[in-house]
């Protein structure tokens, strides 16, 4: 069953659990995520970026998600636009069956340049009105994702954005968050707390200096009815870095957001936890292992079956640790 983000996260808030939002681009990711969800009885958020929509095509994405819902009739699924950059992206997603959209006005439409506050309020309020008229949910973002280590803002794709920012822009301000939600009426709010997209988040195991989980608590206290979202929440686990690097990969050592920090965030009010990089690494690790171990192999299924299995292990673990399991 397809449901909205509002319906799904209201239930999560009522029962005090978090929901991972996994990015999806193809059938194999969808099969693996839903298989894991069915195994632990968890509701699912599948999110598609603009890149995913152009990779698979809107018609294919929608049909795929409807097929997954048919295969797993007891699992509630939310189909969410990740990082919509303007009104057209968000409204065309809704037309194509998405039940929820993110209007990311923290950056200008180029998804690189940090945007003025008023721009963010205006464009998000416009999308919020239109989406609510037709029964879709909306996520906004306040604060620019980026590194508290370097002061660099991060573009949507994990590359550097324009210019250096100070800490106040890299951490969402609770007073401004209250004003933002009042004026935009978003259902969910993505906040900045020191995470960034991609694999290279931290150059050391993060502590409170570079991963500022305390901002979540302050915002949640002021906005109990708004569901908080953590972007850049991949853990970049060592076992996947090793799987990739032991099979010809050359990923420099890196650190992500530890799963126990996310669990702490969920206790402080985080409801939606965005994860893409870990899923990519799980699949790519197995591609590399199969390619290295059986260099004569050329049947893609021989690569994709272990890749799906590795993704399933990861996804199941997040459902269990975030408390999503058992709530479908």
Q: Residue 234: name its binding partner from Zn ion, ligand 13P, ligand G3H, none (Cβ under 5 to 8 Å by kind).
A: ligand 13P
Strand duo 227-230 + 77-84: pairing = unpaired
- Among 6-14, 46-54, 213-221, 236-244, the segment contacting ligand G3H (CB under 6 A): 46-54
Please report whether residue 110 would count as binding ligand G3H according to CB under 6 A.
Answer: no
Q: Residue 52: name its binding partner from Zn ion, ligand 13P, ligand G3H, none (Cβ under 5 to 8 Å by kind).
A: ligand G3H
User: Is residue 231 annotated as involved in ligand binding?
Assistant: yes
Element (DSSP H or E) covering residue 295: none
213 three-state secondary structure: coil
Determine which residue in the list 62, 231, 271, 316 makes contact with Zn ion, applying CB under 5 A. Answer: 231
* One-letter-per-residue 3-state SS of 43-82: CEEEEECHHHHHHHCHHHHHHHHHHHHHHCCCCCEEEEEE
Residue 166 among the catalytic residues: no
Determine which residue in the list 85, 277, 284, 286 makes contact with ligand 13P, applying CB under 6 A. Answer: 277
* Residue the block writes with tokens 């939310």: 78
Least Cα distance to 161 among 206, 207, 112, 117 occurs for 112
User: Is residue 83 annotated as involved in ligand binding?
Assistant: yes
Binding-site string for ligand 13P from residue 71 to residue 100, where x marks contact by CB under 6 A and - marks none: -----------xx-----------------
> What's the Cα-to-Cα distance from 98 to each of 13, 121, 129, 139, 197, rounded to whole Å?
22, 22, 16, 13, 23
User: Is residue 120 annotated as involved in ligand binding?
Assistant: no
User: Is residue 275 annotated as involved in ligand binding?
Assistant: yes
Least Cα distance to 143 among 204, 67, 195 occurs for 195
| Region 213-242 residues binding ligand 13P, contact defined as CB under 6 A | 231-234
Q: How far is the CB of 176 from Na ion (least distance, A)?
A: 20
Question: For residues 152 and 169, is the Cβ–Cβ distance under 8 A?
Answer: no
User: CA-based angle 151:154:156, to the nearest 5?
Assistant: 165
How far apart, in whole angstroms, are the C-alpha atoms of residue 154 and residue 231? 12
| Region 88-107 residues binding Na ion, contact defined as CB under 5 A | 102
Please report whether residue 156 would count as binding ligand G3H according to CB under 6 A.
Answer: yes
| Region 188-217 residues binding ligand G3H, contact defined as CB under 6 A | 197
Give the number of other CB atoms < 10 A from CB of residue 299. 10
Of 58, 82, 173, 317, which is the active-site residue? 82
Question: Residue 205 corresponds to which tokens in the numbers above?
Answer: 């195991």
Binding site for ligand 13P (CB under 6 A): 23, 82-83, 197-198, 231-234, 274-278
- The binding site comprises 83, 104, 141, 197-198, 231-234, 274-277
Binding site for ligand G3H (CB under 6 A): 23, 49, 51-52, 82-83, 156-157, 197, 276
């Amino acid at each position: 069953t397809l449901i909205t983000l509002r319906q799904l996260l209201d239930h999560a808030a009522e029962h005090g659990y978090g929901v991972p939002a996994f990015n999806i681009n193809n059938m194999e990711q969808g099969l693996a995520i839903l298989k894991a969800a069915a195994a632990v009885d968890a509701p699912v958020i599948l999110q598609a970026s603009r890149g995913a929509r152009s990779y698979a095509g809107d018609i294919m994405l929608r049909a795929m998600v409807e097929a997954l819902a048919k295969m797993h009739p007891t699992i509630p699924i939310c189909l969410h636009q990740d990082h919509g950059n303007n009104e057209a992206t968000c409204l065309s997603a809704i037309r194509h069956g998405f039940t929820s959209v993110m209007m990311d006005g923290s950056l200008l439409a180029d998804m690189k340049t940090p945007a003025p506050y008023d721009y963010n309020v205006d464009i998000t309020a416009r999308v919020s009105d239109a989406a609510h008229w037709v029964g879709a949910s909306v996520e906004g973002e306040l604060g620019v994702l980026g590194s508290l280590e370097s002061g660099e803002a991060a573009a949507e794709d994990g590359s550097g954005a324009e210019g250096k920012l100070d800490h106040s822009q890299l951490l969402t301000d609770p007073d401004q968050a209250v004003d933002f939600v009042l004026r935009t009426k978003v259902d969910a709010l993505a906040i900045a707390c020191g995470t960034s997209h991609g694999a290279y988040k931290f150059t050391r195991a993060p502590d409170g200096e570079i991963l500022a989980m305390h901002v979540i608590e302050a915002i949640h206290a002021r906005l109990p009815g708004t569901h908080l979202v953590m972007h850049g929440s991949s853990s970049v686990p060592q076992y996947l870095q090793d799987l990739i690097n032991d099979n010809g990969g050359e990923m420099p050592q890196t650190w992500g957001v530890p799963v126990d920090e996310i669990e702490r965030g969920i206790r402080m009010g985080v409801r939606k936890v965005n994860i893409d990089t870990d899923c990519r690494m799980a699949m790519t690790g197995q591609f590399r292992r199969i390619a290295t171990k059986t260099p004569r192999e050329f049947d893609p299924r021989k690569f994709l079956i272990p890749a799906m299995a590795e993704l399933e292990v990861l996804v199941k673990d997040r459902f269990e640790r975030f408390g999503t399991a058992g709530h479908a």
